[in-house]
Amino acid sequence: MKQSIFMTVVIVVALIVSALIFYGVFGNINNFKTPEKNTPANIMGAIYLGGPIVVLLMALSIMVITFTIERQLSLSKAKGRGPIEPFLKKVQSSLLEGNIDDAIAECDKQRGSIANILRQGLDKYQSLAGNNKIEAEQKLQEVQSAIEEAMMLEVPLLEKNLVVLSTIASVSVLIGLFGTVVGMIRSFQALATAGTPNAAELSSGISEALINTAGGLFGAIVGTISYNYFVTKVGNITYMIDEATYNMLQILTLKGNKKSA
């Protein structure tokens, strides 16, 4: 529910801001040599000649930048407080010493996705540690189930909005291509007129085509780079989660075997 509300707000705000910038800033009369707004005096006037499709391309650009910032902040929060490697070493040292409370305390300090998953497993293990009716192997299975449940909650948060970035990158190219085709149609219409072609309409059509092409490529480039960057980061975090949980289960198995012996 919160995700859909956030998405709706971003789309609406992006469209409103884009329209205001397009008509209020780029469409300002000072950006043109004539009142008819068909001869740009600067780059902002040239962008205005790109037509209404530029509004959509600007909205997509704002959206991709917004989601890029959101993903960066979310993944930074998911990494927790401080470097992950020293945290994992402290947890493993505490487990090897048989001090579960210290390991849980380290997880509480870190407060990242890895720490949350490890803490779920440690809490489960600690709650079952004093139960002699359950065998050690069954206890470890319960711990592994708790870890898997925690991963089902944490991993989707890491991957959230990645599909949005990928979709914007693809859609931006298509909308830019659509604007390019529309601009070329206008250019050919100017060439098809009887007599001497209207130079202003011809240049306007070409400007519309090129501006839309540039806008579509910008959204696609930023979206693709952001998507690949965050997919790599999520992959690294999930790999560290798998490695950390595997090491924790190995240590707990070793401790359980020693106790049973």
Q: 110-150: per-residue pLDDT in tens?
A: 888 999 999 999 888 888 877 666 777 788 888 889 999 99
Determine the average pLDDT of the residues in 26-37.
Answer: 85
Residue 90's SS3 state is helix
Residue 75 CA, distance from chain mean position: 9
Confidence of residue 173 (pLDDT cuts 50, 70, 90): very high
pLDDT at 200 over 80: no
How many angstroms separate the CA atoms of 102 and 146, rounded?
19
Q: Give per-residue pLDDT as tens, 44-71.
A: 888 888 888 999 999 999 999 999 999 9
Whole-angstrom CA distances from 176 to 162, 169, 238, 247 are 21, 11, 35, 49
Residue that is written with structure tokens 């299975």 in the block: 141
Question: For the whole prediction, is pTM greater than 0.75?
Answer: yes
Determine the average pLDDT of the residues in 179-186.
Answer: 87
Q: Identify whether the C-beta of residue 90 lies closer than 8 Å to the C-beta of residue 106.
A: yes
